[in-house]
Amino acid sequence: MVVLHPLSNFIDSNFVISTAPNYYYEGRCPQSGELLRLPRTQMAEAAACGLMKQLAIDERYSSEGKMYGVLLVELPSGEQRILKAFSGQLHGCSVVEGWVPPIPGREQVALDEARTLAQLDAMKLELIHLKQLPQRQQYETLCHEFDLQWQQLSNHHRERKQQRHEKRQIFCEKLTGVALTVTLEQLDEESRQDGIERRIFKRQRDVTLQPLKELIAFSDARLCELKRQRKELSRQLQAQMHAAYSVMNFLGKSRSLQQLMPLGLPTGTGDCCTPKLLHYAAAHDLKPLAMAEFWWGASSINLDKIQGKFYGACVERCQPMIGFLLSGLQERHRGGDEIPIVYEDEWLIAVNKPTGLLSVPGRGSDHQDSVLSRLRHLLPEGILLNTVHRLDQDTSGILLLARDRQTHRQLSQQFQQRLVHKVYEALLSGTVTTDKGVIELPLWGDPQNRPYQQVDWQRGNKSLTHFQVVAREGYTRVEFIPLTGRTHQLRVHAADFRGLGIPILGDRLYGCCAVASRLHLHARELCFEHPQSGENLHLRVKTPF
């Protein structure tokens, strides 16, 4: 069954990404507690809109409201494809050509499910019959008729009572003795006859309505019992299915839905788009890049969903599983390209750049590997990433990247205005006698000898660095705080005789002759104001030497 579809089936070839993700499917890894995220990008939304156009052609989709989802995936070959899924069943079927199949396990309980569903259907028909009993309408009609007759009788008796009251007053004024007694007894007898007439009416009404009332009461009791039995059967079936359903994550580990959600499983858990799509991707070695879910078709009053609107993961059924489902995604697909992430949110990302890797691609085909190019390849929204500053190829440490243009502009302004606090740690190739101080030298780069920098009092740009010796271990461990950000500033300030006069260990460009495996310069700390929250972020990574 073909379930991997070309992007061209959903997205126009001229489509261009222009904005950051609008939403993240996210959850914490059960083992490490790490926050794992999968974005809903503009490309995923465009693919979903393409699917909506396909659904709009067939009226059957509009009459059967449900969630649909698309997952943008990358094949081991690097090609990108689209997976599509529906929640529950589609036109009464779980397996439909072209759509991701349901999570494995259903076939294990297929016989019990068919038997239970048949019982549930029979109960449903009986419930409908009991609710639509003709005696219910007959009872309502007779009650209405009796109410009208009773009202008429009561009105008639009220008038007669008023007349008798008036007669009593007149007779008491005109008659005396036996004549008055006889006349009043006649009026009392009329009153008793009215009471008898009312009692007879009530008996007739009760005799007529009581059998219907008893039948309806019996039906209502049967309704309650059927609902209870139906609920219990559904619960038992769901428990069987959830124990049998097994989802896989990107570590290759499988868990039953019951293991993932031991405190309770709402109806429909495992049948939603999110677990279907992610399980299929993990089981078939497909790398998820982005996902989007939307509602299509009629919506019940209880759900109140809007056709064509994008929705996030449902809180009760999908959200608790996302952390497990995404576990292993980075390890499985990034491999040797993985760059440790120090901090990440929807606006920016900070990584711990390894030594020997460029911050951004250089000139020539053999200088394209860099932090930026790797992240652009690895992250779904990578095309929007841009470095806010740079580290030398051989310098390790914290490198900050923005995930959208506005964040990039705001962070760049902080660097330009020297509002970012940077701390570097270095190991010098000799002994420095001064414990701390300030180095201020004008640096100039000869265009004919890039990237080499030198001190030039006429053409150079001001550069300023605070330093403090941390330890002397044969070599000298120094903490640098640059107040300006010139190319090779710390390397020149360490090596030049007007600075510390001792090159950084491993810095052959500036005169280090000692044998070393790397340049011993590390961007250890970065402190700045978050451009969106205003929070003061202080990032720090361990020095690797």
> Looking at the structure, do residues 306 and 277 belong to the same domain, yes or no?
yes
Label residue 17 exposed, middle or buried (CB < 10 Å: 0-12, 13-18, 19+): middle
CA atoms of 128 and 30, how far apart (whole Å): 45
Please check whether residue 318 is in contact with residue 324, taking contact to mean a CB–CB distance below 8 angstroms: no
> Looking at the structure, do residues 53 and 199 belong to the same domain, yes or no?
no
Residues 58, 271, 345, 392: which is the catalytic one?
A: 392
Mean pLDDT, residues 388-408: 94
> Looking at the structure, do residues 519 and 501 belong to the same domain, yes or no?
yes
> Looking at the structure, do residues 504 and 477 belong to the same domain, yes or no?
yes
> Looking at the structure, do residues 207 and 254 belong to the same domain, yes or no?
no
pLDDT, tens digit (0-9, with 9 covering 90-100), for 410-433? 999 999 999 999 999 999 999 998
φ, ψ of residue 286 to 5 degrees: the values are -110, 135
φ, ψ of residue 323 to 5 degrees: the values are -60, -45
* Last-in-domain residue among 310, 331, 352: 331
In a domain, 443, yes or no: yes
**Mean predicted lDDT score pLDDT of the chain:** 87
How much is the pLDDT for 51? 95
Cα 97 to chain centroid distance, Å, stands at 28
* Last-in-domain residue among 278, 299, 331: 331
**β 396-402/475-482 pair status:** unpaired
* Last-in-domain residue among 223, 240, 257: 240
Determine the Cα angle at 172 with ends 170 and 174, to 5°. 70
Mean pLDDT, residues 401-414: 93
0.85 exceeded by pTM: no
φ, ψ of residue 250 to 5 degrees: the values are -85, 5
Tokens standing for residue 419:
């509002």
In a domain, 123, yes or no: no
Q: Any catalytic annotation for residue 496? A: no
pLDDT, tens digit (0-9, with 9 covering 90-100), for 120-136? 889 999 999 999 999 99
How much is the pLDDT for 344? 87
Please check whether residue 82 is in contact with residue 98, taking contact to mean a CB–CB distance below 8 angstroms: no
> Looking at the structure, do residues 72 and 220 belong to the same domain, yes or no?
no
Give the length of the chain: 545
Mean pLDDT, residues 257-263: 68
Residue 350 has pLDDT above 80, yes or no: yes
Portion of the chain with pLDDT greater than 70, in percent? 89
pLDDT, tens digit (0-9, with 9 covering 90-100), for 496-530? 999 999 999 999 999 998 878 899 999 999 999 99
Mapping DSSP onto H, E and C, the string for 381-450 reads CHHHCEECCCCCCCCEEEEEEECCHHHHHHHHHHHHCCCCEEEEEEEECCCCCCCEEEEEEEEEECHHHC
> Looking at the structure, do residues 289 and 325 belong to the same domain, yes or no?
yes
Secondary-structure breakdown of the chain: helix, strand, coil percentages, each rounded to the nearest 5: 40, 25, 35
Q: Which residues contact 487 (CB under 8 A, 6 or more apart)?
A: 443, 445, 451, 453
> Looking at the structure, do residues 253 and 374 belong to the same domain, yes or no?
no
> Looking at the structure, do residues 269 and 229 belong to the same domain, yes or no?
no
In a domain, 55, yes or no: yes
Q: Which residues contact 420 (CB under 8 A, 6 or more apart)?
A: 389, 414, 526, 527, 528
How much is the pLDDT for 77? 72
> Looking at the structure, do residues 11 and 47 belong to the same domain, yes or no?
yes
Please check whether residue 257 is in contact with residue 109, taking contact to mean a CB–CB distance below 8 angstroms: no
Residue 336 has pLDDT above 50, yes or no: no
How many other β-carbons are positioned within 10 Å of the β-carbon of residue 99? 18
Q: Which residues contact 314 (CB under 8 A, 6 or more apart)?
A: 272
> Looking at the structure, do residues 263 and 350 belong to the same domain, yes or no?
no
Mapping DSSP onto H, E and C, the string for 55-97 reads HHHCHHHHHCCEEEEEEEEECCCCCEEEEEEECCCECCECCCC
How far is the first Cα of the chain from the last one, in angstroms, to the nearest whole number?
54
Label residue 134 exposed, middle or buried (CB < 10 Å: 0-12, 13-18, 19+): exposed
Domain that residue 166 falls in: 130-240
In a domain, 110, yes or no: no
How much is the pLDDT for 80? 86
Q: How far from 187 is each of 162, 180, 345, CA to CA, in Å?
A: 11, 11, 93
> Looking at the structure, do residues 390 and 473 belong to the same domain, yes or no?
yes
Mean pLDDT, residues 293-308: 82
Count of structural domains within the chain: 3
Give the pLDDT band (50/70/90) at residue 332: very low
